[in-house]
A and B are shown apart, each in its own frame.
Chain A
């Protein structure tokens, strides 16, 4: 199972859990599962067209997904997926 680590700001949308376990062979598949289980969480990560929000980073085993294959980045059952808001705004 992929371990999804949530930042504190998003935990209220997942019953205050810090780590979620999801299945999915790609980042998109994992987020699709989140959409079903935690829609209020998932829509803060992607817009309704499925695009990853610009200032949300998805670290797949330590590498940001945009340096890999973006939403198509493959995941394994041992992947640690960290969701971290980027440094932005004034």
Chain B
């Protein structure tokens, strides 16, 4: 089995490969140097895996680069792959999410300013999803510290016209008609930073995840609040009990077990550090009812770094691999579903996102 781990940082992309069941890793990079890599995808739907990277150069602006040879060469089309139509008056700031959909060649992009784009050619060119851009709530979406972006895109595994997205600070929205109309889906999610505690929308969602075998159930990590939905995001219940903090950015579902989820809690709001400087992943094996602290091989003290919303992921192997990267440029991997961990690389720039797959 060969595994690929893609590491997006604030100054480029690194690629780690392992051919011995993820025991040892060979790291190459920087690829796409001096660009912020906020979004990565490893599209394994076709014959050869395609890497997609949302790149952002401080000088030359944002784009989407693709590689069909595992990062040896990168391509960007002549025309901007993602561009706002002229009548919107908007300009692309950054690509936050690239998500291959179940339909062949369909890829979604969540971007800043908050908008959703759809590609029908594997991620080479994209069109704005007008229904969300024209949503009457959009003027009331406000930027969080990280910007105003669609950072989560969850295509439904079996219903092509159904899609869920999330943004900070706008909340979760759901469509069942292929993106023409969108309904806010935040009932039960508490808000500490607005006068109204349970608004229809405006929640600061950090990440939402779901498992394809159980698509009606979703998990969310919010700015204060960890939640589960049993009814396709119509309503949410807290699953924060058992965690040392209800704050964090990442939320990941096991690739084969819909009830197994992973989280990286941070003490908040005064300190955005792991509690007591201990580097800890938390795993639940019952959909968030109970949580277990995972510590095997992880630093017991002195870890004052955050794990951002897309900087944790799983691969699709069995047993599953779990990965996370820190803002201090370390990437950790577990080949046994989180029981034990090893450091893959250190001293990189801030890790913004990681993605892994068997290739």
Binding site for B on A (CB under 8 A): 9-10, 39-40, 43-45, 47-49, 51, 53, 55-56, 85-86, 88-89
Contact = CB atoms under 8 A, between A and B. Distances in A.
Nearest to A85: B59
Interface stretch (B44-52, B88-96, B253-261, B328-336): B88-96
Contacts of A51: 91
Nearest to B76: A40
B80 interface: yes
B16 interface: no
B80 A55 contact: no
Task: Please give me the 6 A-B residue pairs with the lowest Cβ-Cβ distance, nearest first.
Answer: A44-B60, A47-B91, A48-B83, A85-B59, A49-B91, A43-B80
Contacts of B84: 48-49
A55 B59 contact: yes
B220 to A, nearest CB: 32
Contact of A55 (B58, B63, B77): B58
Nearest to A7: B59
Contacts of A56: 59-60
A57 to B, nearest CB: 10
Q: Which interface class (under 10, 10 to 19, 20 to 34, 35 or more) fits B?
A: 10 to 19
Interface string B53-68: 0000111110100000
Interface of B: 34, 57-61, 63, 76-80, 83-84, 86, 89-92
A86 B60 CA distance: 11
B78 to A, nearest CB: 5
Contacts of A53: 59-61
Nearest to B89: A49
B78 A39 contact: yes
A68 B58 CA distance: 24
8 contacts: A9-B60, A48-B80, A48-B92, A49-B84, A53-B60, A85-B59, A85-B60, A88-B59
B60 A48 contact: no
A37 B328 CA distance: 43
A39 B318 CA distance: 45
Contacts of A49: 84, 86, 89-91
Given A48-B80, A48-B86, A49-B84, A43 B91 contact: no
